[in-house]
Amino acid sequence: MARGRLRVLLGAAPGVGKTFTMLEEGRRLQREGRDVVVAIVETHGRAATSALVEGLEVLPRRSVDHRGVALDDLDLDAVLARLPEVALVDELAHTNAPGSPHAKRWQDVDALLEAGIDVLSTVNIQHIESLGDVVQGITGIAQRETIPDDVLRSADQVELVDLAPQALRDRLSEGLVYPAARVDAALSNYFRLGNLTALREIALLWLADEVDSALKRYREEQGITAPWEARERIVVALTGGPEGETLLRRAARIAARSSGGQLYAVHVTSPEGLAARDPEILAAQRALIEKLGGSFHQVVSDAIPQALVQFAQSVEATQLVIGVSRRSRIEAFFGGAGTSGAVIRLAGDIDVHIVSHAEAGRRRLPSLGAALSWKRRLAGFAVTLVGLPLLTWVLALVRSEESITSDVLLFQLLVVVVALVGGIWPAVVAAVGAGVLLDFFFVYPLFTVTISDPLHLLALVVFVIVAVLVSVVVDQAARRARAAARSAAEAEVLVAVAGGVLRGGDAVQSLVTRLRESFGMTSVLLRQDGELVAAARDAEVAADDDQESTMPLGRSGSLYLRGRPLTSSDRRILGAFVSQLDAALEQGRLRAEAEGVRPLAEADRLRSALLAAVGHDLRRPLAAATAAVTTLGSPDLTLGAADRAELLATAEESLASLSVLVTDLLDVSRLQAGVLGVSLADTGLDGVVSGAIDELGLAPGELTLDLAPVRDVRADPVLLQRVVVNLLSNALRFSPDGEPPLVATSEHGDRVQVRVVDTGPGIPEERREDVFVPFQRLGDTDNTVGVGLGLALSKGFVEAMGGTLDADDTPGGGLTMVVELTAAGGEPS
C-alpha cells in the first residue's frame, strides 16, 4: 500500500484560521467524492468552526482516565479500522494522553500515513522545535509541545494560513478566538502587535526557506545548473579599500528594491595575506554588511576574477557589484581591462554592476605578485649587494676604452642572474645599480655621472629595460611552475581519493585523514545524524586563529574543518573529497545491509546442506533398521538364535545412530536460534574425561592421559562431556595404529586448557576454520561418520560456556584441539 500524503496548514499564532481552513478543505474534498473523516478537531468553542464540522463524519474519541481526570484524545485504532481516504487531524504538535500508543500526535499521524491514509493537519510556528528558543525570546513563553523540524519538512505540502497582526487582534477583541474573560490578558501579553509581527515574519521566512530548499532539490534532481532568479542574491566584491562602504550601501539599496533579496559581501585575499590593506577598514565593512542584514565571506585565491565569479555562482547570485578600477588610463591602456573586464567576461548570466566611487582613478602601485618566496627575494638582494661591487672591482682592474662592450654584457649577465634568483624587484635594483656603476666607472669621462655620448645613454636605458623584461619572464615562469605543481598535487590527491574508495576497507577514515593532510588542517571531523563517524587531528594544539568551515555531506552528514582559510581551488578539490566521502558512506551502508543479509544466506546454506546430508545419513540407519525388523517379523523365514541376535543388534545400532543424529540436529538448531540451555557450575575435568572414556568404551591402551592438577572450570558438565567425546572420536578415527591420542590438561592464569592431541594427517592451516562449519567433512566421503556436526556442535557448546575451541598443529604432524575455559575458584584438584 502506498504511503499517504501529509498536508500541513502552518500559522503564525493561534486564531489565524488554521482549523477553519482545514475543515473547509475537508468539506471541499467531500463534495468531490473523497472519503473524509474528522479524526480529531479542536473547535475551542468557536461557533463558526463548530458549524463547519456538521456534515462531516466525526470518529469517536478515546477516553483516558489520568489521575482522576477524564482526557479525550485521538483514537488511532478507530481511524485505522475505519481506513478513510482523508483524515483531518488538528494540532499536529499535541502531546497524547498517558497510555496512548504514541507519545506525540505527529507519531499517530505517521502511523496513519503508513496505512495509506492522507492526512490534513495544523501547527503553529512556535511549535517547531528549532524555533522554540527564538519564540521564547519574543513572547517570553516556553513551548512544551514541539514537533521535530524533519517531520514538518518531510510533509508533502506545507501551506501558510496568514492573517495580518492587527486583523488577528481585532478578531481577538471581538471574542472570535478566546472567551471574553481571557481577551484582555491575551492582548496585553502574547498577542501584542510586536509579538504577532515578529511571529508572522518568522513564519514567512521559514516557509520561504522551505520553498527555496524544495526549488534547489528540484534543480539538482533535474540537473539544472543555470541560476533561476526566483530571489535576488547580490554579491558585493570588497577590496579592503575605503570604497567598500559605498559599494555595500549601493548593493543594499538594490536588495531592498527586490522582495526577499539576500546580500553577500566577499573579500578575496592572496595566499600571502592582506597586503597593502587596512584591517580596520575591512572590519568596519564587515560590521556594516551585518548591520545591513547580509553576510561576510572571505576567499583566498591568486586569481581574483575567477574567485569572485566562483563564489557568486556557489551562492546562485543574480547580481554582482564591483567598484570601478582605481587604475589610471595609462595603466588601463597597457594592462588591459583588469579585474572588472575579467569579471564581466566570466560572469555569464550574472548581472555585473560597476559602481563609481571617490577612489576611482587614484594611482597605486600594481601588484606584481609573489610567485617567488621571500627567501628567494632576499637571496636576490644579497646577490645584488655582493655581486655589483665585486664585478665592478674586477672589471676596473682590466678597464680600457675597448672593454666597454664586454663590461655591459657582464653587468647584464649579473642582472639576469639576480632576476633568476630573486625575481623582479631585486633585478630592478640590480639594473639601476649596474647602470650607475657603468656610468661612473666605465663610461668616459670616468668618475662622473655625466654621459658624453648619447649612444651610451641609450645603451643604459636598453640595459635597464632588458633587465626588467627578463625579471618579468622569470616571475611568470615561477607562477606557472607553482600552478603546475599545484595541478600535479591536486591530481595526486584525486587519484588517492578515488583509489581509497575503490580499495574498500576503512575508506571513510582514510579519506578524512588524507583530507586533513592534503589541506594542512588542524582537525577534520565527519558527523552523520549527529554521530561522529571519522576524525583526523593534528598532534599539535590548535591555534586560536584557526578558522572553522562546515561542508554539508549527503542528506544527513556534515564535514567540519578547522585550520587555515580555504582557497577557491581548495574548495574545488574539497568538493571531490565530499563526493568520494558520500560514496564511501553509501558503500558502507550497503556493506552493512549485506552483512545483515549474510545470516539469512548462511541459514539457507545450512538448510540446504542439512537436507542434502540428512537425506543420505538418515536413509542408511533407517534402511538397516527397517530391513532388520522386517526380516525378524517375516513369517516365511526361519531364523536361528545367532541370526536373530545379529538382526536385533543391527536394529539397535541403527536406532542408536538415528538417536545421536537427531540429537545433534536439534542441538544445531538451538545453537543457530541462540536458545541452547547452558547451566554453568564448578566442574572438575577429571570427572568429565572419565565420563567421556566410559561413554566411548575405551580400553586402557587406546588413550594416553596427562591430566595435570588444575582448578575446576565454569562449565556445563553435560555439554563439556559431549565436547570431549566429539573431540576424542575424531582423534581416534584419524590416529595411526599404535599411536593413541593424548588428552592433557594445563592451567594458565585464570584459564584452563584441555588438549586432545592426535598424530594423524592433520589439517592445512587455511582449512582449519572450515572444520567448525556444520556439514563439513573436508572431502571425506566416508558417510559412516555422520553429517559433519561434531566439531560445529563442540565449538558452539564451548563458546556458549564462555570458552574457545581452536585447532592447532601437533609437533611432528597431526592435529591438536584446544579447549580453553575460565577457571573457577578454589585450589587445583
DSSP 756-772: EE--SS---GGGGGGGG
What are 689-727's pLDDT values in tens digits?
A: 888 888 788 887 888 888 888 889 998 888 888 888 888
| 452 vs 39, higher pLDDT | 39
What is the mean pLDDT of the segment spanning 396-412? 81
Q: Cβ neighbours of residue 216 under 8 Å, at least 6 residues apart?
A: none
Q: Say what the pLDDT of residue 32 is.
A: 92
What distance in Å separates the CA atoms of residue 744 and residue 803, rounded to the nearest whole number?
17
Q: Say what percent of the chain tops pLDDT 70.
A: 76
- What pLDDT is recorded for position 365? 34
**Cβ partners under 8 Å of residue 141, min gap 6:** 135, 190
Residue 307's pLDDT band (boundaries 50, 70, 90)?
A: confident
Arithmetic mean of pLDDT, 64-90 = 84
Q: What pLDDT shows up at residue 116?
A: 92
**Which residue's entry shows cell 497524547?**
96
**What is the identity of the amino acid at 338?**
G
Give the CB-side neighbour count of residue 340, counting CA atoms within 13 A: 16
Which range among 77-91, 308-322, 586-600 has the greatest average pLDDT? 77-91
- Note the pLDDT of residue 1: 67
Q: What is the phi/psi pair of residue 52, to 5°? A: -70, -20
In tens, the pLDDT along 410-437 reads 888 888 888 878 877 888 888 888 878 8
List b or e across 736-746, with b for residues whose CB sees 16 or more CB atoms inside 10 angstroms. Answer: eeeebbbbbbe
Residue with cell 500559522: 11
Looking at the DSSP bridge assignments, the partners of residue 128 are 147
For residue 781, list its beta bridge partners: none
The answer to which of 184-188, 664-668, 781-785 has the lowest mean pLDDT is 781-785
β 6-11/118-124 pair status: parallel
- Tell me the C-alpha distance between 763 and 809, whole Å: 8
Give the Å distances, CA to CA, from 724 to 790, 800, 818.
10, 15, 10
Contact 277, 286 (CB under 8 A): no
What is the DSSP secondary-structure string of 429-472? HHHHHHHHHHHHHTSSSTTSS----HHHHHHHHHHHHHHHHHHH
Long-range contacts of 641-644 (CB under 8 A, 24+ apart): none
| Widest distance between CA atoms in the chain | 151
Model pLDDT, residue 113: 93
Residue with cell 555595500: 248
Across residues 470-497, what is the average pLDDT? 67
Residue 664 and residue 702 in contact, taking contact as beta carbons nearer than 8 Å: no
Predicted pLDDT of residue 774: 60
CA distances from 60 to 39, 45, 691, 812 (A): 8, 18, 70, 83
Q: Is the CB of residue 706 less than 8 Å from the CB of residue 758?
A: no
Report whether pLDDT(136) > 80. yes
Environment class of residue 310 by beta-carbon count within 10 Å: exposed (0-12), middle (13-18) or buried (19+)? middle
Residue 129 DSSP class: G
CB 100 within 8 A of CB 73: yes
Alpha-carbon Rg for the chain, nearest whole angstrom, is 44
| 3-state DSSP of 775-824 | CCCCCCCCHHHCCCCHHHHHHHHHHHCCCEEEEEECCCCCEEEEEEEEEC
- Residue appearing with cell numbers 666607472: 441
Indicate whether 655 pLDDT > 60.
yes
As a whole number of angstroms, the distance between CA 422 and CA 417 comes to: 9
Cell numbers that stand for 530 in this block? 549527529
H-helix segments, 231-326: 244-256, 279-291, 304-314
Classify 370 as helix, strand or coil: coil
Distance CA 388, CA 690 (A): 103
| Nearest in space to 797 (alpha carbons), one of 661, 682, 683, 667 | 667
Residue 14, judged by CB atoms within 10 A of its CB (0-12, 13-18, 19+), counts as middle
Residues 632, 654 contacting (CB under 8 angstroms): no
Cα–Cα distances (Å) from 394 to 390, 399, 493, 495, in that order, read: 6, 9, 52, 55
| β-bridge mates for residue 536, sequence order | 524
**Would you give the distance in Å from CA 422 to the centre of its chain?**
46
pLDDT band at 110 (very low <50, low <70, confident <90, very high): very high
Reference 510, options 493, 534, 531; nearest CA is 534
Residue range 61-72: mean pLDDT, rounded:
75
Pairing verdict, β 69-73 and 62-66: antiparallel
Residue 797 one-letter amino acid:
F
| Structure confidence by residue, pLDDT tens digits, 760-779 | 888 887 777 777 766 555 44
Q: Which three cell numbers stand for residue 439?
A: 656610468
- Give me the mean pLDDT over the 16-42 stretch: 92
Position 34 scores a pLDDT of: 92
Q: Is 745 helix (H, G, I), strand (E, B) or coil?
A: strand
Q: Smallest Cα–Cα separation from 824: which of 714, 721, 715?
A: 714
What is the C-alpha to C-alpha distance for residues 260 and 245, in angstroms, rounded to an integer? 22
Average pLDDT over residues 582-598: 77
Helix, strand or coil, per DSSP, at residue 512:
helix
Q: What is the pTM of this model?
A: 0.38
pLDDT at 584 over 60: yes
Question: 560-571: per-residue pLDDT in tens?
Answer: 888 877 776 677
When mean pLDDT is compared over 56-70, 289-303, 310-324, 767-781, the highest value belongs to: 310-324
Burial class (CB in 10 A: 0-12, 13-18, 19+), 466: middle
Neighbours of 479 (CB within 10 A): 15
Residue 96 has a CB neighbour count (10 Å cut-off) of: 20
pLDDT level of residue 472 (50, 70, 90 thresholds): confident
pLDDT at 86: 93
Residue 511 Cα to chain centre, angstroms: 11
Number of separate helices (H) and strands (E) present in the chain: 25, 24
- pLDDT-derived band at 359 (thresholds 50, 70, 90) equals low
Alpha carbons 742 and 763: distance in angstroms, whole number = 17
Percent helix, strand, coil in the chain (nearest 5)? 55, 15, 30
- Reported as type and span, the H/E element at residue 417 is helix 404-422
| Residue 224: pLDDT band with limits 50, 70, 90 | low
* Whether the predicted pLDDT of 533 surpasses 90: no
Contact present, 59 and 78 (Cβ < 8 Å): yes
Answer whether the bond into residue 740 is a cis peptide, omega within 30°.
no
The dihedrals phi and psi of 516, each to the nearest 5 degrees, come to -60, -45
Instruction: Please give the pLDDT value at position 335.
Output: 46
For residue range 265-275, list pLDDT tens digits in order.
988 876 544 33
CA-CA-CA-CA torsion sign (401, 405, 410, 412): positive
Which range of 216-230, 423-437, 458-472 scores highest in mean pLDDT? It is: 423-437
Average pLDDT, the chain: 77
Strand-by-strand arrangement of the 262-269 sheet: 295-300, 262-269, 233-238, 319-323, 351-355
Phi, psi of 369 (to 5 degrees): 85, 175
Q: Is 273:259 a contact under the CB 8 Å cutoff?
A: no
Question: What's the CA gap between 601 and 817, in Å, rounded?
Answer: 29
b/e code 700-718 from CB counts within 10 Å (16+ = b): eeebeeeeeebbbbbbbbe
